[in-house]
Structure 1
């Protein structure tokens, strides 16, 4: 890759900063909660139009209940002969319900942009789109895939097979979740899943027929203690029963109870151990006459650094330093699709999107200047690796 080409890419991306902000505003003003298929697909349609304007092909995988999966490609992308492609990832769904965009539409002030999903992760989608456009224009020989999914906030059940398939063919994966408030990227993430468990007991009058009952709430208490006892903070494994319910009246032995537990871990070996331990807790009853049904969902793999991903990190951070950014990699307890890519064996880094904070809240924001800035770093890193 010649200096002239990389210079042209940098100049063009800097010039596109107003267009990036305008596209971001359009996307933020479209409600696209995970269960709002029509809204998620509207965000996708706007991105497809952008890609078409830049002569970039996009294929669509229809998804019945959630947002369709979109896949933009530029350069000689292949799915054979080993790792060849560069993969940029992003999700179009948010945690916000219908009406949120109208209630607090896209806005800017004091160098920041605000609105539902602005950081997590519509700014990353915009950045990826402009990186793809720059590479199409100035480096069409580089094979790059931009994957745009629709159900990340609820566990990526439909997206996961497509993420893994593209990751298996990628020499490097860039997940454009927001950069940290510190400006750093993410080089390690926890994995996580949750269990919903429903306990059935036997009702009885708590004064007249106490011994005839089997308390589901008492069994719930035993399970909460057993689950929390699996926590090993020093090893990065945490369990939190955050939602509970049960019973029908204060003077009735509870016939039903339920709970939901959030589980976090840092390695796939820990994940396997925790699943086995939790399944054993759910299968055994401490209170005679109760039984439990449990379902595991929101199953994210961890992003575990490897020598290859460390090399990708070093390359990315060097490019950042070359344009005057003094940043580093850091670990976070949050989950993301990058864990699926990493678990498929691809060198993966995350949090390479524009810098932002307070995701999932009304104060969610990005630093506007980092839209073009982080686009430059991603594009130039891909160019450097493709030499």
Structure 2
């Protein structure tokens, strides 16, 4: 498992580096070929292709879905600066927690069931390529598979304290462009209309929408604008991150953001907004709660106490839950400092967390469930 993890980590696979993301898929395809597991590529033109691997199960039974994404947030060239390494019980490298090891776990679970006779339910591994930017091109692939599935595991990294994720916020990633009128800021200042001034006013208005008690946050995380220090700015733009906890809050907060972005207060400026990506929230259902209970009892049988917790981060599990399929998330290995140069994974948790998922799947083959899970 560690050997495959090292190979995957050492492939640059930024969300916008389609070739790199697809190289990760090619390495997984080699693994599945070695294990005689059938797989297929679902072509995607602009981002990494989706990949689907299947271990056959009983006739007519709904599949169990194992999900993971191959892309990372790190730029191409990051691997050369800090390749995969292991020291003092931890592994390091780009995507070493989020979420190259989740891919390894899913691949090895498929291989184990394929080797030892399968399962009454088919097992489907889905490996996508654009989660870190909101899954704009793979969302439909994910929901199509989720609608057919009995249940799902999303192998995002486990929390640093060993917990898994049972609840996540929804998120909308927006972009606002602002247009003004350029002018020399000394000689013809009064002829200018500053797009940057309009942007500054919007940033303050957007941030004022944050309501921590309701779990709503607004963050303008990117700003650009202007031509030179002595020119009234004709253009400016910003990237906006909206997070919310309850599905019922989505339209209210989005409409407020849209109103701010499309209304200007600096005379002579104009603006427009677009949505670049969106995640649905993950909230527990009766069935996902039972799935969580089975998983945690399996962990406890190995003297590991696992609890569920809320994460402000978004994931593809929200899409899965959104179509009514029970899912638990963060079932990958223990890790931390995601999206940072000091990101880490706890080495001994890699096989352990794979075992917990596999034994949960085995339990579901024979144990009656309270919720028709």
Shorter-chain TM-score category? over 0.9
2:205 to 202, 207, 226: 226
TM-score, reference length from structure 1:
0.89
Aligned equivalents of 2:29 and 2:232: distance in 1?
57
1:114 to 92, 110, 124: 92
Aligned-pair distance for 1:211?
A: 4.7
2:244 to 265, 271, 284: 265
Aligned equivalents of 1:30 and 1:248: distance in 2?
37
2:225 to 228, 240, 246: 246
Using a 3 Å threshold, how does the CA distance of structure 1 residues 356 and 158 change in structure 2: closer, same or farther?
Answer: same
Paired residues for 1:196-345 under 5 Å: 196-204=175-183, 210-250=189-229, 252-345=231-324
Aligned equivalents of 2:233 and 2:73: distance in 1?
34
Aligned equivalents of 1:241 and 1:77: distance in 2?
49
Using a 3 Å threshold, how does the CA distance of structure 1 residues 212 and 342 change in structure 2: closer, same or farther?
Answer: same
Aligned-pair distance for 1:97?
A: 2.3
1:150 to 125, 129, 149: 129
Instruction: State the partner residue of 1:126.
Output: 104
2:328 to 312, 334, 349: 349
Aligned-pair distance for 1:210?
A: 5.0
1:84 to 53, 58, 62: 62
Q: Secondary structure at the match of 2:219?
A: strand
Q: Secondary structure at the match of 1:120?
A: coil
Moved more, 250-259 or 115-124: 250-259
1:233-283 CA distance string (max 9 Å, x none): 111100012222333455544322222221111122222222211112222
Q: Secondary structure at the match of 1:168?
A: helix
For these two proteins, the number of residue pairs brought into alignment is 365
Using a 3 Å threshold, how does the CA distance of structure 1 residues 102 and 301 change in structure 2: closer, same or farther?
Answer: same
Using a 3 Å threshold, how does the CA distance of structure 1 residues 352 and 251 change in structure 2: closer, same or farther?
Answer: same
TM-score, reference length from structure 2:
0.92
Instruction: State the partner residue of 2:75.
Output: 97
Structure 2, unpaired ranges of 5+: 367-373
Aligned equivalents of 1:244 and 1:319: distance in 2?
47
1:48 to 10, 15, 29: 29
Moved more, 317-326 or 175-184: 317-326
Native 8 Å contact 1:119 1:359 kept in 2: yes
Structure 1, unpaired ranges of 5+: 1-19
Aligned-pair distance for 1:71?
A: 0.4
Paired residues for 1:369-384 under 5 Å: 369-384=348-363
Matched, 1:21 2:21: no
Aligned-pair distance for 1:212?
A: 4.0
Using a 3 Å threshold, how does the CA distance of structure 1 residues 137 and 248 change in structure 2: closer, same or farther?
Answer: closer
Aligned equivalents of 1:293 and 1:367: distance in 2?
45
Aligned equivalents of 1:94 and 1:216: distance in 2?
33
Aligned equivalents of 2:200 and 2:21: distance in 1?
40
What is the root-mean-square deviation in Å for CA atoms of aligned residues?
A: 1.9
Q: Secondary structure at the match of 1:41?
A: helix
Aligned-pair distance for 1:203?
A: 3.2
Matched, 1:361 2:340: yes
Matched, 1:33 2:14: yes
Using a 3 Å threshold, how does the CA distance of structure 1 residues 287 and 99 change in structure 2: closer, same or farther?
Answer: closer
